[in-house]
């Protein structure tokens, strides 16, 4: 009450008027609102975050992490594209020991960013509470998701076609004569994992008549997760592996060698994303390329439309993946290549 008294006296208005301004209630003229906000500044009080004008030059960029090389790829493209539009990206990368997405979003909204692009954030987790995003929508904050669509929220999403990615890798290995093709990826609660697994199973059913559950192993993302999952699949007789990321593929190659197997002579391995330096691994990694540059540019364009008051359609825009064949895959040992849908 003391605070309201001070502000009211400084502004020359009633406490009720101050209360209406601070709570964004109607019935107060623009001039009176400015007077009250000036009184706040004169008295040394911070404006409530919801009343602060948004910076025209800042956009939040929240990424899942930076250890996986695909996320710095996205960050670089998005930062450069935002700069061309006159905006500066505020990069927020999550770490196990550091701030999480919700903490970063609170910081960004306090600073009045013009919008936020989320790359493989909590929105990719099909089990999360959607209220964290509906609250931002109610504030009128422009947002775009990358890789992970939440239906019904009205937030434009840019994604790689993960169903196609899973099928591409599986068909490639089938064409090399493999039948015991294993699939390993991160936890099933993530939408991209669900979709990639769906593509793998569809291709296995199409090419081999079934998709055995014993050839699917889901675990933590990363090199160690790939190593552990690959070990389980190799013990079950898999001769080829479809991996949910390039880092998991590198872990799978490490585990194959630890088990006395050669890549690709004994085991073929396909990664996902085509992260930087995959050309220089041993062996160079066959992978399914995610079109990060085109996706990053599209995400910024969608956000710019939102900021300018011309919202993009609240749909998911799918980008086609591309199979990049290198040296980690080859004809199955003792097998014969079969060309699915084509001729030898």
Helices (H), 85-184: 101-110, 131-138, 162-175
Compute how many other C-beta atoms are within 10 angstroms of the C-beta atom of residue 53: 8
Q: Above 90 in pLDDT, residue 9?
A: no
**DSSP 8-state code for residue 139:** T
Tens digits of residue pLDDT in 250-287: 999 999 999 999 999 999 999 999 998 999 999 999 99
Residue 172, Cβ density class (10 Å: 0-12 exposed, 13-18 middle, ≥19 buried): buried
Looking at residue 290, its pLDDT comes to 96
> Which range has the worst mean pLDDT, 17-21, 89-93, 200-204, 303-307?
17-21
Name the band, by pLDDT with cuts 50, 70 and 90, for residue 343. Answer: very low
CB half-sphere exposure, 16, CA atoms < 13 A: 3
Name the band, by pLDDT with cuts 50, 70 and 90, for residue 339. Answer: very low
Domains observed in the chain: 2-51 (1.10.260.40), 58-160+292-322 (3.40.50.2300), 163-288 (3.40.50.2300)
Name the band, by pLDDT with cuts 50, 70 and 90, for residue 194. Answer: very high
Buried b (16+ CB within 10 A) or exposed e, 218-235: bbebbbebbbbbbbbbbe
Tens digits of residue pLDDT in 52-109: 655 568 999 999 888 899 999 999 999 999 998 999 999 999 876 667 899 999 999 9
Looking at residue 45, its pLDDT comes to 77
Mean local confidence (pLDDT), 158-186: 98
Compute how many other C-beta atoms are within 10 angstroms of the C-beta atom of residue 202: 16
Looking at residue 98, its pLDDT comes to 66
Tell which wins on pLDDT, 144 or 150: 144
Looking at residue 340, its pLDDT comes to 42
Q: Are 271 and 243 in contact (CB under 8 A)?
A: yes
Tell which wins on pLDDT, 7 or 118: 118
Name the band, by pLDDT with cuts 50, 70 and 90, for residue 344. Answer: very low
Average pLDDT, the chain: 90
Secondary structure class of 294 (helix, strand, coil): helix
pTM value is: 0.81
Q: Above 70 in pLDDT, residue 335?
A: no
Max Cα distance, the chain (Å): 90
Percent of the chain with pLDDT over 70: 93
């Amino acid at each position: 009450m003391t605070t309201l008294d001070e502000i009211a006296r400084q502004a020359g208005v009633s406490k009720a008027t101050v209360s209406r301004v601070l709570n964004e209630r109607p019935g107060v003229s623009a001039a009176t609102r400015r007077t009250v906000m000036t009184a706040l500044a004169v008295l040394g009080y911070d404006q409530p975050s919801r009343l602060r004008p948004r910076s025209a030059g800042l956009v939040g960029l929240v990424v899942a992490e930076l250890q996986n090389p695909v996320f710095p790829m996205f960050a670089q493209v998005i930062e450069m594209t935002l700069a061309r539009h006159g905006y500066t990206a505020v990069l927020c990368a999550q770490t196990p020991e550091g701030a999480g997405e919700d903490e970063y979003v609170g910081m960004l909204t306090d600073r009045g960013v013009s919008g936020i692009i989320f790359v493989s954030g909590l929105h990719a987790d099909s089990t999360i509470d959607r209220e964290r995003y509906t609250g931002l929508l109610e504030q009128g904050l422009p947002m775009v998701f990358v890789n992970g669509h939440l239906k019904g929220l009205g937030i434009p999403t840019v994604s790689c076609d993960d169903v196609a990615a899973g099928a591409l890798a599986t068909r490639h290995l089938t064409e090399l004569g493999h039948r015991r093709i294993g699939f390993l990826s991160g936890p099933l609660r993530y939408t991209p994992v669900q979709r990639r697994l769906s593509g793998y199973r569809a291709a296995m059913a199409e090419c081999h008549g079934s998709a055995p559950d014993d050839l699917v192993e889901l675990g933590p993302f990363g090199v160690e997760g790939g190593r552990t999952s690959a070990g389980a699949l190799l013990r079950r007789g898999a001769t080829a592996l479809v991996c949910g990321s390039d880092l998991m593929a590198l872990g799978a190659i490490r585990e194959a060698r630890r088990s006395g197997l050669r890549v690709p002579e004994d085991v073929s391995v396909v990664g996902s994303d085509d992260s930087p330096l995959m050309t220089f691994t041993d062996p160079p990694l066959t992978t399914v390329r995610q079109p990060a540059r085109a996706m990053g540019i599209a995400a910024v364009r969608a956000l710019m439309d939102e900021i300018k008051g011309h919202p993009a359609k609240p749909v998911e825009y799918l980008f086609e993946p591309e199979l990049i064949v290198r040296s980690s895959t080859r004809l199955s040992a003792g097998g014969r290549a079969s060309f699915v849908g084509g001729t030898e």
